[in-house]
Chains A and B, each alone.
Chain A
Amino acid sequence: MRPLTEEETKILFEKLAKYIGENIKLLIDRPDGTYCFRLHKERVYYVAEDIMRRAANVCRENLISFGVCFGKFTKTRKFRLHITALDYLAPYAKFKIWVKPSAEQSFLYGNHVMKSGLGRITDNTPKYQGVVVYSMADVPLGFGVAAKSTSECRKTDPMSIISFHQADVGEYLRNEDSLT
């Protein structure tokens, strides 16, 4: 376990900013204690400072997880967000997509969101903007990247992709092993 380096922090925050914009500072300046990012086995954990200190009691090999895992650094030093970060992305998300109940299941199996399954979309969503995907009952289901801007969405045909799939809560069942 170690703090992130300057470069890693930059990569991580750039990624997070795609989804929650300047709300990142709400993650760091929290009223209920200090929170920090820690790197452990190439994974980034977001954790309260006192819990982090306790986790230091466990040696590296036996520490499986602590706090909330945000994602991992790939071998090419890119950052990949995991579905486990959804709890912190969803409340602060700037742009959202709601999918119809009929398309929920398809999204949870790892498919892209089609125009036919699109329930609602935040106004003025730019193209290639990170979006959080919700069900119509306002349950966060995952996140992705907008394939089309809001204005483009209106015109396209029903089978075109609106949002590229990145992560969905179905992964808790599909690849539980790779979450940590």
Chain B
Amino acid sequence: MLVLFRNPILQSHPLGLEAVHQRIKDVTTVLSDLRKRGDPTRKRMEYMDVLKKDLCTYYSYNEFLLTKFIEMFPLSELIAFLESNEVSRPITIRTNSLKTKRRDLAQALITRGVNLDPLGKWTKVGLVVYDSPVPVGATPEYLAGHYMIQGASSFLPVMALAPQAGERILDMCAAPGGKTTYIAQLMKNSGLIFVNDVNKARLKSVVGNLHRMGISNTVVSNYDGRSFPAIMGNFSRVLLDAPCSGTGVIAKDPSVKTNKDETDIAHCSHMQKELILAAIDSCNALATNGGYIVYCTCSVMVEENEEVVNYALRKRNVKLVETGLEFGVEGFHRYRQYRFHPSMKLTRRFYPHTHNMDGFYVAKLKKFSNQIPKPDLDDEMESDEGIGSESGPFSDNEITKDTSGEKPLIASKKRPNDDGAEEIPKKKTKQAANKKKSDSSKSDKGTKISMQKLKKYQKRKKKPGAIVRPLTGLSEKKRNINAYLAKKTDNKKPSQPKSKPKRKATPGDETTPTKPVQTKPKPKNRSVRKDKAHGKTKKSTKSRKNEKQLKE
């Protein structure tokens, strides 16, 4: 009893919410000056444990997430952060400068009784809506595409990207299209924007928004972002708004509080690392005043932000540059056990409690060479292990065993240029990989792929949100097929009716990519000629059969 009285704040009875709140206050005041106010028999750790538990119950977080936040913020800031996660951010809208001006839009909305103000000095198109008698998402102005409802934080990556008119830009994870439309309006509807998202259903809203805002310079595709340099590269700027755990937007989606744990963060982080490499690879360093990649997430976790950027710095020829955003907190260049590149200061963090927008992270990278650096032996091993362990959580145990063999294979497929360089360390370290390695190197040497493989590849490519990896020898194969088809059509013009059944009846095409015609000489070698002859006899028998069938 005495102990209880002497130190009422550390009792561990279940309490009402009010009492818990009171205790949080008390413990924080004690912790702010432990030496004077604290009980000398108690350690700081004990106070912290009580505080953590209380915060978990009061704000209903799971312990993992709260521990992360405690590690990140000093105590006074932590409470402010948690409090600000309970209140929603103000509604902000972005004027569509393609269709109207901010002043005209504000005037039109004020006549509808909407109470609004300019968002801040840093933007010329943002407006913040305090209250409105009509739904802001359904006014005639909205439907006519004069503005877009968009969080203030979503302006920032596009401003950092600073797209110029006439450029070719990739938006890798675009849905629902707020940032994309902003890019388009900064480019004044010129150049080309490649809009991609992995989720087909969410792309519907992208298309709707693009059309509503009157944007005509886009191509909307549905792939996994990781397949990007394989589908199209050579972009002058790339915006990667990576999928993340959403720890910055808890106010919008409170379910994050409880349903995220270590595996989810690791999963996101792994995906982001793959995406950022894809983004960098699809960017062209030589583009005139281009070669920029902007990486952003709506998460505040270091694992999903600085660590990912640092990984990219290590793996590719990129450097961090100024984001051009005049506010925001500098990124961590040292955080607990992590030691990042000192230029990490150039990245920007945004917090709900300090900037009154969603928690956000923006990094701007400049690619200075299109070459992919050869990974160091140590570095490679370390990072491979890193990825392997991170991929662990979302795969079964059996698969994790395999990843050591499979990961490098995927990596080498992804970057066919440095196959040779990569193979050496792996052969030394991973014997399991050897078999697959030799297979892939065989296919590299031959550069011939079978028709079956090609069809499989094309079928896989067609699935919604598919990942497409580059296939060695694909372009040559396509060229051969095209040449073959061209010659075939030339040849077939006189005898029309037979052409169709023959096409299907000759799967032997793959061995005879170029089928020479009498009028056009240059058969490559004798074997080809033989094949051709063989094919012809086959065809003639087939066609005879067809005729017979017809007669019957």
Residues in A lying within 8 Å of B, measured CB to CB = 46-48, 50-51, 54-55, 57-69, 83-84, 87, 104-105, 108, 135, 137, 139-141, 169-170, 172-173, 176-177, 179-180
Contacts and interface: CB of A to CB of B under 8 A. Distances in A.
A170 B142 CA distance: 10
Interface stretch (B197-205, B393-401, B492-500): B197-205
B440 to A, nearest CB: 24
B466 interface: yes
B317 to A, nearest CB: 25
Given A51-B218, A55-B219, A169-B212, 15 more contacts: A54-B194, A59-B458, A62-B464, A64-B221, A65-B210, A67-B218, A83-B211, A87-B216, A105-B140, A169-B140, A169-B143, A172-B143, A172-B212, A173-B143, A179-B204
B463 interface: yes
B462 A67 contact: no
A172 B177 CA distance: 14
A139 B220 contact: no
Contacts of B62: none
Contacts of B535: none
Contact of A62 (B137, B208, B218, B222): B222
A36 B104 CA distance: 34
B141 A139 contact: yes
A70 B299 CA distance: 39
Contacts of B141: 139
A133 to B, nearest CB: 11
A61 B28 CA distance: 57
A30 B343 CA distance: 47
A59 B212 contact: no
Contacts of B194: 54
A84 B219 contact: no
Which among A50, A59, A62, A69 has the greatest number of chain B C-beta atoms within 10 A? A62
B80 interface: no
B464 A54 contact: no
Contact of B140 (A47, A54, A83, A108): A108
Nearest first, the 6 closest Cβ-Cβ pairs linking A and B are: A169-B143, A84-B211, A61-B462, A64-B220, A65-B220, A66-B219
A55 to B, nearest CB: 4
Interface residues of B, number: 39
B70 interface: no
Greatest chain A CB density within 10 A among B141, B212, B458 is at B212
Contacts of B232: 54, 57-58
B281 to A, nearest CB: 16
B231 interface: yes
Contacts of B222: 62-64
A84 B219 CA distance: 15
Nearest to A142: B143
B133 to A, nearest CB: 14
Q: Which of A48, A54, A87, A170 has the most chain B CB atoms closer than 10 A to its own CB? A: A87
14 contacts: A54-B194, A54-B232, A57-B231, A58-B221, A58-B223, A61-B463, A63-B219, A63-B222, A66-B218, A67-B218, A108-B143, A135-B140, A141-B143, A169-B145
Contacts of B219: 51, 54-55, 58, 63, 65-66
A140 B210 contact: no
B471 to A, nearest CB: 14
Contacts of B410: none
B138 interface: yes
Contacts of A55: 219
Interface in B108-163: 108, 137-138, 140-141, 143-146
